[in-house]
Amino acid sequence: MWHEPMVVLEVMKNSRFCLQAPADSFTRKSTFDSMLAGCIPVVFSPHTAYTQYAWYLPQHTHSYSVFIDEKHTSGKYKIEQCC
């Protein structure tokens, strides 16, 4: 499938949570795309937007995102149980 940004954005607009899996950099463009689409980003490392963009985003990270420590992502929990 070809990369189609509008399709991805539409999925985010219709989702409540958007998982932000680790990538080649700590903060992904997708994190900000999800917030703009009204989707709550779920991050797995504190070294994401929390540390890199601390001066732009609210201090209380739980007000705009969900943090699940990556050691808890082995299928033991559902997102709804971690928050």
Question: Full-prediction pTM beyond 0.85?
Answer: no
pLDDT digits (tens, 9 = 90+) for 30-58: 888 999 999 999 988 888 778 888 888 88
pLDDT at res. 79: 61
User: Burial code of 54-66, b = ≥16 C-beta within 10 A, e = fewer?
Assistant: eeebeeebeeebb
Residue, of 82 and 80, whose pLDDT is higher: 80
Closest by Cα among 61, 66, 59, 60 to 81: 66
pLDDT digits (tens, 9 = 90+) for 1-35: 567 888 888 999 999 999 888 777 766 788 889 99
CA 40 to chain centre: 7
Q: What is the mean pLDDT of residues 68-76?
A: 74
